[in-house]
Amino acid sequence: MKADPFAQLKLLDVQELDARTDLLRHQLRTLPELAEIDQLTAARRDLDDQARDARIAVDDLTVEQRKVDADVEQVRTRRERDQQRMDQGLVSNPKDLQRMQQEMESLQRRITSLEDDELEVMERLEEAQQTLDGLIAQLAETDARLTALSTARDEKTAGLQESLGEVARQRDPMVTDLPGDLLALYDRLREAKGGVGAALLRARRCEGCNLDIDNAELAQIRSAPSDAVVRCEECSRILVRTSESGL
Ligand SMILES: [Zn+2]
């Protein structure tokens, strides 16, 4: 392949811009915020599940507490009514009186037992509420962090996109002047060779693979016409010759 030496030199400038584009795209893909956002989003899902369970526990215990409160209230009312009847002397028959006495003792035992239940439910409710409050606080903290991370991600992304646009604006007029076959070869090599299709031959070394060119190859390169497109024997990238090549 043949190409004007100036076009070959220009290819190095294109290569530099393309390396910059690759770097910027890599930075876009690997913003540290992205990994943290993924991590936090997963953690938030877990927290949300836990909060939902905790809310159910609080609701259930609230219902349980109302029920046990109502039960206590009902038994107390009944005992008070019995007490009043006795106080008012409405029960005079000794047999009835004894039965009533027994009933009141039984009611008192029931009240004590229900009050124990009441206390236990209250403690469990308090605990469940604390768990729920803690989870809600953690969720709020996570959301605040996620918002901050998203803002940082968006700002960095916008900056990188702007730089990418700038590089593209520089590259476009550069490549329109380049011969199509040279550019096609370069693109193919860039694709196959980790992003570097053209390299400078500097001080007898290929800057694509960083290997020294042996003397026999150097002699060939030296004798090649200036418009010949030279390739590195080691990495097959396009080797661009300049005054720094050491030929
Ligand atoms: Zn090479």
Q: Express each pLDDT in 42-75 by its tens digit.
A: 999 999 999 999 999 999 999 999 999 999 999 9
Residue 189: other Cβ atoms inside 10 A: 22
Beta strand 205-206 pairing with 211-212 = antiparallel
Whole-number percent of the chain with pLDDT over 70:
100
Cα separation, 186 vs 198, in Å, equals 6
The predicted structure's pLDDT at residue 22:
98
Confidence of residue 103 (pLDDT cuts 50, 70, 90): very high
The predicted structure's pLDDT at residue 247:
85
pTM (two decimals) = 0.78
Cα separation, 47 vs 53, in Å, equals 10
Residue 212, φ and ψ in degrees, nearest 5: -70, 145
- Which residue do the tokens 């936090």 mark? 40
Determine whether 169 is exposed, middle or buried from the number of CB atoms within 10 Å of its CB (0-12, 13-18, 19+). Answer: exposed
Q: What is the four-CA torsion angle of 13, 229, 227, 181, rounded to 10 degrees? A: -80
Q: How far is the CA of 176 from the centre of ligand 1 (A)?
A: 26
> In the predicted model, what is the mean pLDDT of the chain?
96
| Helix, strand, coil percentages in the chain from 3-state DSSP, rounded to 5 | 75, 5, 15
Cα separation, 176 vs 189, in Å, equals 19
The predicted structure's pLDDT at residue 129:
98
The predicted structure's pLDDT at residue 57:
98
Q: Summarize the confidence of residues 228-243 as an average pLDDT.
A: 96
Q: How far is the CA of 212 from the centre of ligand 1 (A)?
A: 8
Neighbours of ion ligand 1 (CB under 5 A): 206, 208-209, 232, 234-235
The predicted structure's pLDDT at residue 102:
94
Strand order in the sheet with 238-241: 211-212, 205-206, 198-202, 238-241, 230-231
Angle at 88 between CA 82 and CA 93, to 5 degrees: 75
Q: How far is the CA of 242 from the centre of ligand 1 (A)?
A: 16
Beta strand 238-241 pairing with 198-202 = parallel
Please say whether the dihedral angle defined by the alpha carbons of residues 156, 46, 128 and 61, taken in this order, is positive or negative. positive
Residue 200's DSSP bridge partners are: 240
41/177: higher pLDDT: 41
Q: Which two tokens stand for residue 137?
A: 């606080």
Q: How far is the CA of 30 from the centre of ligand 1 (A)?
A: 29
Residue 228's DSSP bridge partners are: 2
Q: How far is the CA of 235 from the centre of ligand 1 (A)?
A: 4
Determine whether 138 is exposed, middle or buried from the number of CB atoms within 10 Å of its CB (0-12, 13-18, 19+). Answer: middle
Cα separation, 93 vs 115, in Å, equals 32
- Read off the pLDDT of residues 194-229 as tens digits, 9 standing for 90 and up: 999 999 999 999 999 999 999 999 999 999 999 999
Q: How far is the CA of 197 from the centre of ligand 1 (A)?
A: 10
Q: How far is the CA of 233 from the centre of ligand 1 (A)?
A: 7
- Read off the pLDDT of residues 114-164 as tens digits, 9 standing for 90 and up: 999 999 999 999 999 999 999 999 999 999 999 999 999 999 999 999 999
Which stretches of 123-216 are assigned E, i.e. beta strand?
198-202, 205-206, 211-212
- Read off the pLDDT of residues 138-149 as tens digits, 9 standing for 90 and up: 999 999 999 999
